[in-house]
Amino acid sequence: MPTVTWSRLGGERRSAVVDAAEAEFAAHGFSGGSLNVIARRAGVAKGSLFQYFADKRDLYAYITDVGSQRVRDYMEYQIHELEPDRPFFEFLTDLLDVWVAYFADHPRDRALHAASSFEVDTDARVSVRAVVHRHYLEVLRPLVHAARTRGDLRPDADIDALLSLLLMLMPHLALAPYVRGMDPVLGLDELSSEQPILVVRRYVAVLSAAFGSTNPSHRTTTIAQGEAHG
Amino acid sequence: MPTVTWSRLGGERRSAVVDAAEAEFAAHGFSGGSLNVIARRAGVAKGSLFQYFADKRDLYAYITDVGSQRVRDYMEYQIHELEPDRPFFEFLTDLLDVWVAYFADHPRDRALHAASSFEVDTDARVSVRAVVHRHYLEVLRPLVHAARTRGDLRPDADIDALLSLLLMLMPHLALAPYVRGMDPVLGLDELSSEQPILVVRRYVAVLSAAFGSTNPSHRTTTIAQGEAHG
Amino acid sequence: MPTVTWSRLGGERRSAVVDAAEAEFAAHGFSGGSLNVIARRAGVAKGSLFQYFADKRDLYAYITDVGSQRVRDYMEYQIHELEPDRPFFEFLTDLLDVWVAYFADHPRDRALHAASSFEVDTDARVSVRAVVHRHYLEVLRPLVHAARTRGDLRPDADIDALLSLLLMLMPHLALAPYVRGMDPVLGLDELSSEQPILVVRRYVAVLSAAFGSTNPSHRTTTIAQGEAHG
Amino acid sequence: MPTVTWSRLGGERRSAVVDAAEAEFAAHGFSGGSLNVIARRAGVAKGSLFQYFADKRDLYAYITDVGSQRVRDYMEYQIHELEPDRPFFEFLTDLLDVWVAYFADHPRDRALHAASSFEVDTDARVSVRAVVHRHYLEVLRPLVHAARTRGDLRPDADIDALLSLLLMLMPHLALAPYVRGMDPVLGLDELSSEQPILVVRRYVAVLSAAFGSTNPSHRTTTIAQGEAHG
DNA sequence: AATGAATGAGGGTTCATTCAT
DNA sequence: TATGAATGAACCCTCATTCAT
């Protein structure tokens, strides 16, 4: 946790440190990130970093906390805008489009997300992932439950399996377009910028087929998506 | 790529280097692994490593190549034993059980797999993942195609989406039981040793529902699996 | 020397600083002690320490002054209780027993004493030892002179040599039971808790033989002590 | 223990490192000594020190080992020259004169001895003192036993107490003339260069009175010394 | 072909002290 | 008077790589 000194800090100095640290950790992760570099880029004495944070790990935790909260805030706002009461897989498609677009437009958040996923230091990775996973689940679980209540999911749908898959698919969709070799099948990491939109639909089609109710009134979307690939 | 000197090297010296390097990279990843340590453990001069490999990265690539090839060889043998001509999702269940068991029994391969997944160094990670993905696909794609040909998959099944999901699920199943916080939903990282078996069935049930043919003769397995959770 | 600000300070704040500084210097000595830690433990701003004392060295000198004065006060009270008019070496034996017991019961004073003895910083060590030595001599010299006047010492006894030896023996007796390797001959640093008592008697026997009057009326004790070792 | 690299090292580089390290540790002790400074003064890369020694502690142990062995070698040679079969306290007087003179002439050995005595780091101090004490005892104990055998000591003399006192007196004699405030009684730390010679005789007189045989044939020396102080 | 000594930048962290508020 | 943020040098140690032998 940041020190009280940090909480009392002027906005300019604060954001200089945050900016420098985000950039550095995004680029090299926790283990690879250098406090020397962060201090230099922030125009701050190296010792000052230790006035604000207990140690490197503390700074890293703060940076990733702030970052993942920022993403969550954005997504919750978007969820509200996207009318989550619509048929679930239709809504999910739009949601994932927004998700993909967000990371396309925010390279630093993307890099931060990637860095946390690929961190070598077990403790650092575990604690960061715990936070990120909590955010994911606190947002997604209510949506999924509501969908089941509405009848958009099969009565016997394995909801936890659905959440588990979303927890793999969402980082994949966010990062794969920017990491060579990460998606060797669906071609997310190719140049064509419309790819992600197609891939979203293909994944949603799978989820819809697996978890969606057979109620015909909801199948329109799914069938359309089923034809999206070729 | 290893140098010609390496190719001319006696088997004993070779395996000493490979053993030491595998152990070190498994324990600390590429960035964290130390050539000093590897040379010492292998009983080889530090400089010799640079006679055999261009640099650290080159050695790392070689080690992961060897390791992933070893896993592939094992899996191909097992696939043959498991009679891949059976109904696909029944076979897939057994295959994933074997997969999970392999990594449970081979901590070094598991650690190597994990290290490559969590590598911070982007280039190192990308090049290793490319190799690993190639292995996965060269093994899985024929199986999936055969399944479709046999009619185990729906005619319109999105085969690439299936492969893409398997490429996420298989590392997840291999590593999650040993990496705290990696699976916050299905509880793979809990103590109970029968968990992975259940989780395999839940995932297969999903895949079966999404991609499986509606041919009633194949549904037995799926339905049973559908009841496994709850 | 403490500043005037310090002299005007409320008792509570004063003792908070003294307590924290004593604990820290006792634990880590002058060079190793940290002003950061002292300020934090005392609940006082780091800057305040510099309002009260010129610098670290000044604070350290003050703390050791206070500590050695405390020990001296205790010992002077005990000397009075022990009836210093008795035959000198009998009295000295009891005095050293009390001395040893005091440091056994007061780990902080012991640690402070040890820290000052083992201080690497020459100036810090010298100035502290000067104070400590002054205390020792102001207390011991009158006792020794009185003993000679009474005839407990040989007329030609080299009184300064006796004092010089006491100045070595007393710290040794106080610290050796708690500092491994400090006494490789007499085994003061062994577990048996009766050791110090025996060692005191062996040293006093030596001093008695060297400095004691040959007056038979005083030899009882000495002879008994001479037999204490085996 | 130094590495094999160190043992294979050319004499010039070796002595550059030894010289620099001795000077630094003599000046600031183990805790206070800086590897940066040692490397710079030796004209050697910082990293090279770690090719020669496992860590700072290892280097320190080596330096103090070499230093204390050097002093012991010198003293053993001198002991042989001084005819140790003479009456013990006469011999001891000469021995201590030589001892005092050695440290007067070898400021670096003196500083090293002092630094080891005053080391704050408990482990470092303990291990160094153990070596030094062993040297002292291996040299002194045979001399003392021979003296008793010859009848120079009282039959009931507490030999361990004698050794214990010598272990305090010898460092004191070596260092006190150069450390202000170390000897506030006998004035060893005064300018007059003949002081140490007198102090040696006063201490020997005490030891002779305490431990010496009453055999009149041996008292000549003692009595003469007894008159040395005034 | 094999060696292993030498390099020196860089790692995170602590520290006593200053000084504007 | 009290504060505590800011400083930046210094700490020990590790590292991949080079190159003369």
D17 pLDDT above the threshold of 60: yes
Between the CA of residue A204 and those of A43, A210, B166, B193, D125, what are the distances in Å? 46, 10, 16, 32, 70
What is the per-residue pLDDT for D125?
Answer: 87
Chains A–B, number of C-beta pairs less than 8 Å apart: 125
Mean pLDDT in chain A? 90
D230 pLDDT above the threshold of 70: no
Digit-coded pLDDT (tens) for C69-127: 999 999 999 999 999 999 999 999 999 999 999 999 999 999 999 888 888 787 888 88
Local structure of residue C191 (DSSP, 8 states): S
B137, B162, B202: residue with CB nearest A184? B137
What is the per-residue pLDDT for B58?
Answer: 92
Residues 11-30 of chain C in contact with strand F via CB under 7 angstroms = 13
Give the dihedral of Cα atoms C88, C90, C96, C99; nearest 10 deg. Answer: -90
How large is the average pLDDT for residues D144-162? 96
Contact D165 C206 (CB under 8 A): yes
Q: What percent of chain D has pLDDT over 90?
A: 73
Residue spans of alpha helices (H) in chain C: 4-7, 11-32, 35-42, 46-52, 56-81, 88-105, 107-117, 122-150, 159-175, 195-211, 219-226
What is the per-residue pLDDT for A181?
Answer: 81
Contact C181 D120 (CB under 8 A): no
How large is the average pLDDT for residues B187-211? 89
What is the per-residue pLDDT for B215?
Answer: 59
What is the per-residue pLDDT for B193?
Answer: 67
Do D23 and D41 contact (CB within 8 A), yes or no?
Answer: yes
What is the per-residue pLDDT for A215?
Answer: 60
The gap between B30 CA and E6 C1' (Å) is: 25
Q: Which residues in chain B have their CB less than 8 angstroms from residue A209's CB?
A: 209-211
How large is the average pLDDT for residues A199-210? 97
Question: CA nearest A142: which of A163, A173, A158?
Answer: A163
Q: How many CB atoms neighbour CB D135 within 10 A? A: 18
Do C44 and C18 contact (CB within 8 A), yes or no?
Answer: no
Q: Which residues in chain B have their CB less than 8 angstroms from residue A156's CB?
A: 226
What is the per-residue pLDDT for D193?
Answer: 66
Between the CA of residue C98 and those of C73, C79, C143, C164, what are the distances in Å? 13, 9, 16, 20
C190 pLDDT above the threshold of 90: no
For D96-143, what is the HEC assignment? HHHHHHHHHHCHHHHHHHHHHHCCCCHHHHHHHHHHHHHHHHHHHHHH
How large is the average pLDDT for residues A146-153? 96
Residue B160 Cα, gap to closest chain A Cα (Å): 6
C218 pLDDT above the threshold of 80: no
Residue of A136, A158, A169, A207 to mutate for B, most B C-beta atoms under 10 A: A158
How large is the average pLDDT for residues D189-196? 76
Contact D32 C28 (CB under 8 A): no
How large is the average pLDDT for residues D64-90? 96
Contact C184 D130 (CB under 8 A): yes
Question: CA nearest A51: which of C32, A42, C16?
Answer: A42
How large is the average pLDDT for residues A193-220? 82
What is the per-residue pLDDT for C225?
Answer: 43
Question: CA nearest D124: which of D62, D169, D49, D38?
Answer: D62
Q: How far apart are CA C213 and CA A78, in angstroms?
A: 101
Q: How far apart are CA C194 and CA B9, in angstroms?
A: 68
Is residue D178's beta carbon less than 7 angstroms from any atom in nucleic acid strand F?
Answer: no
B49 pLDDT above the threshold of 80: yes
Greater model confidence, C70 or C218: C70
For chain A, what is the HEC assignment? CCCHHHHCCCHHHHHHHHHHHHHHHHHHHHHHCCHHHHHHHHCCCHHHHHHHCCCHHHHHHHHHHHHHHHHHHHHHHHHHHCCCCCCHHHHHHHHHHHHHHHHHHCHHHHHHHHHHHCCCCHHHHHHHHHHHHHHHHHHHHHHHHHHHHHCCECCCCCHHHHHHHHHHHHHHHHHHHHCCCCCCCCCCCCCCCCHHHHHHHHHHHHHHHHHECCCHHHHHHHHHHHCCCC
Place of tokens 């990130």: A33
Digit-coded pLDDT (tens) for C129-173: 889 999 999 999 999 999 999 999 999 999 999 999 999 999 999
Confidence tier at C215 by pLDDT (50, 70, 90): low
Digit-coded pLDDT (tens) for A70-96: 999 999 999 999 999 999 999 999 999
Q: Which nucleotide is nearest to A42 (CA to C1')?
A: F6
Residue B6 Cα, gap to closest chain A Cα (Å): 28
Handedness of CA A149, A151, A154, A159 (dihedral sign): negative
Mean pLDDT in chain B? 89
A218 pLDDT above the threshold of 60: no
The residue type of D157 is A
Question: CA nearest D93: which of D102, D82, D103, D104?
Answer: D82
3-state class percentages of chain D: helix first, strand second, coil last, to nearest 5: 75, 0, 25
Q: How far apart are CA A217 and CA A204, in angstroms?
A: 17
Q: How far apart are CA C20 and CA B69, in angstroms?
A: 62
C191 pLDDT above the threshold of 80: no
Report chain E positions within 7 A of protein CB atoms: 1-20
Greater model confidence, C221 or B49: B49
Task: For chain D, list the domains and their CATH numbers.
Answer: 57-226 (1.10.357.10)
Classify D225 as helix, strand or coil. Answer: helix
Confidence tier at D218 by pLDDT (50, 70, 90): very low
Contact A186 B211 (CB under 8 A): no
Digit-coded pLDDT (tens) for D89-132: 999 999 999 999 999 999 999 999 998 888 878 888 888 999 99
Neighbours of chain B (3+ CB pairs under 8 A): A
Contact D119 C122 (CB under 8 A): no
Region of B43 on the Ramachandran plot (φ > 0 left; ψ -120 to 50 alpha; else beta): left
Token pair, residue A94, equals: 């739009």
End-to-end Cα distance, chain B = 50
How large is the average pLDDT for residues D160-187? 92
Residues 6-35 of chain A in contact with strand E via CB under 7 angstroms = 33-35
A119, A129, A181: residue with CB nearest B133? A181
Digit-coded pLDDT (tens) for C113-140: 988 888 878 788 888 888 999 999 999 9
Range with the poorest average pLDDT among A186-190, B25-29, C51-55, D172-176:
A186-190
Which residues are paired to C153 by β-bridges?
A: C212
What is the per-residue pLDDT for D226?
Answer: 42
Region of C181 on the Ramachandran plot (φ > 0 left; ψ -120 to 50 alpha; else beta): left
C223 pLDDT above the threshold of 60: no
D214 pLDDT above the threshold of 50: yes
Q: How far apart are CA C58 and CA C124, in angstroms?
A: 9
How large is the average pLDDT for residues D25-38? 92
Question: How many Å is the Cα radius of gyration of chain B?
Answer: 20
Residue of B116, B121, B122, B179 to mutate for A, most A C-beta atoms under 10 A: B122
Confidence tier at A228 by pLDDT (50, 70, 90): very low
Place of tokens 């001891």: D92
Is residue C29's beta carbon less than 7 angstroms from any atom in nucleic acid strand E?
Answer: no
What is the per-residue pLDDT for A193?
Answer: 65
How large is the average pLDDT for residues A130-154? 96
What is the per-residue pLDDT for D137?
Answer: 96
Confidence tier at A227 by pLDDT (50, 70, 90): very low
What is the per-residue pLDDT for B140?
Answer: 97
How large is the average pLDDT for residues B81-102? 96
Q: What percent of chain D has pLDDT over 70?
A: 92
Place of tokens 């690439």: B160
Digit-coded pLDDT (tens) for B178-193: 888 888 899 888 767 6
